[in-house]
A and B are shown apart, each in its own frame.
Chain A
Amino acid sequence: MAYLVLSRREIAALSLVCGKKLNTLSPMHRMDAFNSRSIKSDLKSMTETMNQFIEDGAIWRNAEGVPKLIRELQGVFTVIHTPDKVIRIKKASKEPFSEHYYVHKNEIGVIISINKEEDCYTLGYPITESSLGTWIMDEMIGEIPEKDKKEMRVSWNLENEEFELLALLITGQNYQYYRGTNQILSRNNILDEATLAYIREHNIFHPNQEIINKLENQAYMNQWLPSLDDKGLIRLDGDLIILHSVLGDGFINPRLKDIIEITEMSPFMRGKQLYVTEAGLIIIEPCMTNPMVWKIGIEGLKTTPKTLIDRLLQFGPVEINKTFKEAIKTGLNNHQ
């Protein structure tokens, strides 16, 4: 894979010279200064940048004096300007380059990385979906200790209530670990004041207190705990609530190594988060359906790049909203 390292002005210059109209998905929209006013405000530096590229042989000028990209770069920027698919990959950990865009067009892919200051861009090409998997394994996930590598592949579809409860259980389980009691989470100790306070303080639905209160609702617990048990996310042993080993261990700090967000850049912006843990790779994806569904997946650390990328790039369905449905119906009625 070839790499280009470019400054903001350099990528703007090459992009301008490319001459291909940006489509709505192009990550060039991501670049703040890439607009008519900014470009025109500093023609001197743009001229200098283009002349530098002319000197380097990356740009040439046709007989009419119009600058053009050499063929190789023309191909790269054609992909960047008119992609048919764009996937954003963001990494939570503090690294110089934490935001990446995989742009794809006609079997050719380019990976664009942007640094935190957004003044430096790298372009890697050509890259395919399968090599993107390798790239994610090597560059995003990195090395995980060998002893913890397992083969595992499971997935669940959770209803909203199930996911809420699972999140509370995970938070409660974390508390049992942090306070060093080595207690197993149970129907009783999840309701003790310390645990509830911890969940209240660290719950994911702040400021929505009503969900935490549901832990005290026996009917709620009697409905959704067995449901999670049936699906295999937890195991109920009398009063004890035993979480799936990866879910129970993976989120305990410092076993969680990083969080990677994979988002499809489209009007639906389907996305998922990949939690890189020493226990395994956990994928959480909210699906835009009615009622809402949460897809939870676990991939063992022995997974292959292809398996992982297939899973990461396969997004859940989208249910068309009411307005859209109405629009379609109206359109169809008018047509008929």
Chain B
Amino acid sequence: MKKSVVEPKSLFQLLILLLKSLVKGIPKMILRSILVGVIVWILHAYLIVVVNNGYLKEASKAAEILGLHWNMKNATMFWGIAGWLATYFFFGRLFGKGIIKGPKYFFMSVAKTPGFLVQGFKKLGSIKGPLLFFTSITALVIGLIIESPMVLMLLVIACVLFMTSRNEGLLFLAMKLGYGDIQRWFFKNKALKHFNEGIFVAVLSGLLAGMILYVLVPYRPYSVYLLLFMIIIMAVLILLKKKGLKVNVWIIGLLSLYGFLMYETIGQAHDGGWDEYGRNFSNWWHGQGRNEALQTGTIPAIVSIIGSIIGTMTSQGVEALAPTGVSAPESTTSSQTYLPTDGRDEVEAENALDLPLGPMSEMDLKDIIDQLIEEVIGETPLGGILDIPSEIEAFIDILEEVYDVPGLIGDGISGAQDFVLTSGLIDRIFETYDSYIPNWITKAAEQTANESWDYMGVVKDLLDMNGSIPEGNPIAELMDWAGITKDALDNIGLGDNAVYAGIKSFLSNKIKGAIFDKDKQPGLIIMDMLTTIFVGGTKAGDIISPGKTIQGGANFIIDKLTDLYNGTDDVTSRLNDGKYGGVWQVANETTEVIADGVYNPDQFANDFSEVVTSDDFYDGMYQTNDELWRPAEGSWAIKRAGCYVGHQATEGLIKIADGTRQLASWLGSWV
């Protein structure tokens, strides 16, 4: 993918871009400038010696642009502009590599220019007349200042070249940016208006017409004054909507004057110079006046070098901007809503509006679809296998980096004794360090918390909305998950992290559900029923309730295995606090007698231990795990990613549990 360029938003930015491109192209610029300077010097020598026949007279039309001491102003302007124009044309338009360069593209652009002009005038609407008049008058005034028709002819060529560059050229971009700058400076409270291409067309056309008119009319400058006067009067009449006889009289008068002036005859040039040496190079070279003649070309050569430098800058600018920043499209909505893009994000702008690439074929899309997907989606968490230990390692590395972060975040993390993150600090961390959070933590935490909030069971029971909840309302489904949610929140309160809490909560509830499956464990159902009948509603009933205790037992197992895995001992304190349910506490404190008074805990303990140590149980666990983390049909990517992480992590726990169970069975006991 071609690297995009930040499109300039103002004339100042454009200038900076051009200067940057100039710096970037200094070697190229030096070569081109020297080449142009040498060519100009040779050409000038030819013109002064051969065409003009010497440097002390005006013996040809060429004298107007020669560096004769009385004609230095015209020569300077002419050769300066010529140097710029030649460089811009040859190196910026006709030759060179680039999307909007090269002879093919140049001639294609020329062919498209008439259509562009017509479209431009159409788009401009009623202001094209006044704009044309104004720019024509401006061109005539410029002509009066410059005086030299040869220089003006160069400017005419420049205008034509600019026209052929249409809305892809630097001038178009400069006008567009200038238009935006003016609006921003002088009309701050108004919405930015779209730059009308017609303005570009009308301005160039007016300048072109005015300069051509100046060059063609004789008896300058008096004839030009007269023309200006008549044009201005006619423009005023039209602006005042005084159409009819008066305007017609002025138009007829104007045309008559122009026609009359064109009958003027052209004078003849003088003789001499090259002829004085018999039109022989050897004679001329050894004759007098050679050095003086050549010296007259010094100033033209120097100014042409300067012009060439400017030409290089503009042609480099075209190169730097093409094809991305030359003509960025404006909003197409009628409301002109403008949503600025992130300054840090580079926005690739549209190519020429009049060069639309039409609809794409399926093959076109097939060619680029991988690129589009890679750019936007990249590798999904499900696309590869996560290596959690290495992710943790990476996370530790990141923390080391965070330690170096100065300011609020670094101080907050390294300085806080209790490690409590405030809301503001969290915001700051996520504003800046989104990438520092490993994906698997993000995804799994999102998934866990999503489930937690999705199934928040608080509402239904709290509000007794049984009778009023419409069918299909998500609240109706919340109830089943209330226990899981509460457990998860409780587990967070106990110090577990969100991912682990979610896994444990889901797993333990699922274990309970699996164990209570009457087809698999009918004895436990009966036991629960008996407990309810005999001791329901009492503390003892709570202690030995299989529903309560099995879940607690599952939590115990998971915590114990996690302790074994991590080398920690969280289980003991929780056990002492009775966090796993009565039986476990009872067992730990060897106060079986209390429970034995209402039921036989040993029997229960045996039943339970048989369940959790049987092969079938673990076979079921693997299956349960598969089902547990299987995302629902149509679930979204984050959830699937979370499920993947959850599945992997849980399976890891089960494997450890299974392995421990096997080891324990070899040793004749179990954990």
* Closest Cβ neighbor of A68 among chain B residues: B348
Whether B369 lies near A43 (C-beta < 8 A) is yes
Contacts of A76 in B (CB 8 A): 339
B190 CB within 8 Å of chain A:
no
Least Cβ–Cβ distance between B254 and chain A, in angstroms: 44
Cβ–Cβ < 8 Å partners of A18 in chain B:
376
Given the complex, which residues of A lie within 8 Å of B458, measured CB to CB? Answer: 167, 204, 273, 284
B375 within 8 A of A: yes
Query: A204 and B461 in contact (CB under 8 A), knowing A94-B473, A334-B396?
Result: yes
Question: Which of B362, B400, B459, B635 contacts A259, CB < 8 Å?
Answer: B459
Residue of A at shortest CB range from B421? A318
- Mask, A294-336, CB within 8 Å of B = 1, is 0000000000000000000011111111111101101110110
Q: Given that A23-B434, A65-B360, A331-B399 are known contacts, is A269 also in contact with B445, CB under 8 Å in the complex?
A: yes
Q: How far is the CA of A133 from the CA of B329 in the complex (A)?
A: 33
A74: chain B residues at CB < 8 Å are 341, 347
Q: Which of B340, B368, B400 contacts A334 (CB 8 A)?
A: B400
A39 touches B396 (CB 8 A): no
Check B449 for interface membership: any CB of A closer than 8 A.
yes
Within 8 A of A (CB), among B388-404: 392, 395-400, 402-403
Contact status A170-B462, CB under 8 Å: yes
Q: Give the residue name and chain of the A residue nearest to B338 (CB).
A: A72
Which of B419, B457, B474, B492 is A288 in contact with, Cβ under 8 Å? B492
B450 at interface by CB-CB < 8 Å: yes
- A316 to B367 Cα, complex, angstroms: 49
Cα A185 to Cα B483 in complex, Å, equals 27
**Pick the contact of A43 from B1, B365, B400 — CB < 8 Å?**
B365
For residue B244, CB closer than 8 A to chain A, the reply is: no
8 Å CB contact of B362 from A15, A47, A273, A324: A47
Min CB gap B105→A, angstroms: 10
The stretch among B128-136, B295-303, B423-431, B620-628 that forms the contact with chain A is: B423-431
Report the bound CA distance from A252 to B328 in whole Å.
58
Give the Cβ gap from A273 to chain B, nearest Cβ, in Å. Answer: 7
Question: Which residues of chain B have C-beta atoms less than 8 A from A290's C-beta?
Answer: 492-495
A244 to B399, CA, bound (A): 46
Query: Residue of A at shortest CB range from B479?
Result: A206
B residues within 8 A CB of A204? 457-458, 461-462, 482, 486
Q: How far is the CB of B50 from chain A (nearest CB, A)?
A: 46
**Are A65 and B368 in contact, with the CB atoms below 8 A?**
yes
Question: Chain B contacts of A32 at CB under 8 A?
Answer: 634-637
Distance in angstroms from A235 CB to nearest chain B CB is 20
B638 near A29 with CB under 8 A, answer: yes
The stretch of A56-64, A136-144, A218-226 that contacts the partner chain: A56-64
Please, which residue of chain B has its CB at the minimum distance from the CB of A59? B360
B396 with A331: CB separation less than 8 A: yes
A130 smallest CB distance to B (angstroms): 17
Contact with A along B444-478 (1 / 0, CB 8 A): 01101110110011110111111110101111000
Interface residues on B, range: 35 or more
Are A94's CB and B376's CB within 8 A?
no
Compute how far the CA of A334 lies from the CA of B396 in the bound complex, rounded to whole angstroms: 9
Q: Could you tell me if A213 and B542 are in contact, using CB atoms closer than 8 angstroms?
A: yes
Closest B residue to A31 by CB, please name it. Answer: B636
Please give, as numbers and ranges, the residues of chain A lying within 8 Å of B343 by CB-CB distance. Answer: 106
B342 touches A72 (CB 8 A): no
Which of B58-66, B158-166, B435-443, B593-601 touches A? B435-443
Query: B462, A328: Cβ atoms under 8 Å?
Result: no
Known: A2-B333, A15-B376, A44-B362. A71 touches B328 (CB 8 A): yes
Chain B contacts for A30, CB-based, 8 A: 636-638
Cβ of A160 to closest chain B Cβ, rounded Å: 7
Contact of B373 among A36, A78, A288 (CB under 8 A): A36
Q: Counting CB contacts under 8 A, is B548 at the interface?
A: yes
Q: A314 near B423 (CB under 8 angstroms)?
A: yes
A206 to B551: give the CA distance in the assembly, Å. Answer: 13
- Closest CB of chain A to B372's CB: distance in Å? 5
Q: Mark B316-353, 1 if CB is under 8 A from A, else 0.
A: 00000001100011111101011111110101111100
Given A51-B359, A61-B360, A320-B419, are A288 and B498 neighbors across the interface (CB < 8 Å)?
A: yes
- Contacts A32-B637, A43-B365, A331-B396 known; A54 to B350 CB distance under 8 Å? no
B459:A273 contact, CB within 8 angstroms: yes
Question: How far apart sit A47 and B331, CA to CA, in the bound complex (Å)?
Answer: 23
Q: Does B126 contact A (CB under 8 A)?
A: no
Q: Known contacts being A50-B360, A71-B331, A174-B463, is A81 close to B376, with CB within 8 Å?
A: yes
Which residues in B have their C-beta under 8 angstroms from that of A35? 377, 380, 637
Asked if residues A267 and B360 are in contact (CB atoms below 8 Å), the reply is no
Q: Are B356 and A61 in contact (CB-based, < 8 A)?
A: yes
A331 and B400: CB pair below 8 A?
A: yes
Are B345 and A332 in contact, with the CB atoms below 8 A? no
* A331 to B, closest residue via Cβ: B399
Task: Verify if A93 is at the interface (C-beta below 8 Å from B).
Answer: yes
* A238 interface hit (Cβ, 8 Å): no
Q: Is the CB–CB distance between B423 and A317 below 8 Å?
A: yes
Q: Which residues of A contact B375 (CB under 8 A)?
A: 19-21
Q: Are B376 and A174 in contact (CB under 8 A)?
A: no
Pairwise interchain contact A335-B400, C-beta atoms closer than 8 A: yes
The CA of A290 and the CA of B371, in the complex, are separated in Å by 47
A43, A54, A273, A332: the one within 8 Å of B359 (CB): A54
Contact between B342 and A16, CB atoms less than 8 A apart: no
Residue of A nearest to B2 (CB): A64
Report the Cα distance A84→B337, complex, angstroms: 22
How distant is the Cα of A39 from the Cα of B376 in the complex, in angstroms? Answer: 12
Tell me the bound Cα distance from A25 to B490 in angstroms.
26
- Cα distance A23–B437 in the bound complex, in angstroms: 12
Q: Is the CB of A207 within 8 A of B547?
A: yes
Q: B592 an interface residue at 8 Å Cβ cutoff? A: no
Within 8 Å CB of B495, what residues of A?
Answer: 290, 321-322
A96 interfacial by beta-carbon distance below 8 Å: no
Nearest-Cβ distance from residue B340 to partner chain A, whole angstroms: 6
In this assembly, does A291 line the interface, its C-beta being within 8 Å of a C-beta of chain B? yes
Residues from 515 to 547 in B contacting A, C-beta threshold 8 Å: 537, 539, 542, 545, 547
Are A327 and B395 touching (Cβ within 8 A)? yes
Task: Report the separation of the CA atoms of residues A81 and B449 in the bound assembly, to the nearest whole angstrom.
Answer: 22
Closest CB in chain B relative to A325 CB, distance in Å? 5
CA of A54 to CA of B343, assembled, Å: 26
Known: A70-B331, A263-B453, A331-B399. A29 touches B498 (CB 8 A): no
Interface string of A166-191 (1 = CB under 8 A from B): 01001100110010000000000000
Question: Is there an interface contact between B537 and A261, defined as CB atoms closer than 8 Å?
Answer: no
Bound together, the chains give a CA A85 to CA B431 distance in angstroms of 8
With an 8 A cutoff between CB atoms, is B241 at the interface? Answer: no
Whether A70 pairs with B332 at a CB distance below 8 angstroms is: yes
The answer to whether B422 has its CB under 8 Å from any CB of chain A is yes
**Residue A66 at the chain B interface, CB threshold 8 Å:** yes
A21 with B453: CB separation less than 8 A: no
A205 touching B486 by the CB < 8 A rule? yes
Measured CB to CB, the nearest residue on chain A to B631 is A32
Contacting residue for A253 out of B99, B403, B445, B468, CB 8 A: B468
> Does residue A203 face the partner (Cβ distance < 8 Å to B)?
yes
The answer, yes or no, to whether B500 is at the interface (CB within 8 Å) is yes
Q: Which of B340, B414, B448 has the largest number of chain A CB atoms within 10 A?
A: B340
Digitize A9-48: 1 where CB-to-B-CB distance is under 8 Å, 0 elsewhere: 0000001111111111100011110111001100110110
Interface check B496, CB cutoff 8 A: yes
Measured between beta carbons, the chain B residues less than 8 angstroms from A254 are 468
User: For the complex, is B420 an interface residue (Cβ under 8 Å from A)?
Assistant: yes
Nearest chain B CB to A149 CB, angstrom units: 22
Q: A57-B332, A105-B342 are in contact. List 7 more A-B contacts (CB 8 A).
A: A30-B636, A32-B635, A43-B369, A71-B349, A171-B462, A209-B537, A254-B468
> Would you give 19 A-B contacts (Cβ < 8 Å), ordered by A?
A36-B380, A40-B369, A75-B340, A84-B430, A85-B431, A106-B343, A125-B339, A171-B461, A203-B461, A208-B548, A209-B545, A213-B542, A268-B498, A271-B453, A290-B495, A291-B493, A323-B500, A331-B402, A331-B403
> Which 5 A-B residue pairings sit nearest by Cβ, starting from the closest?
A269-B449, A331-B399, A75-B339, A292-B493, A61-B357
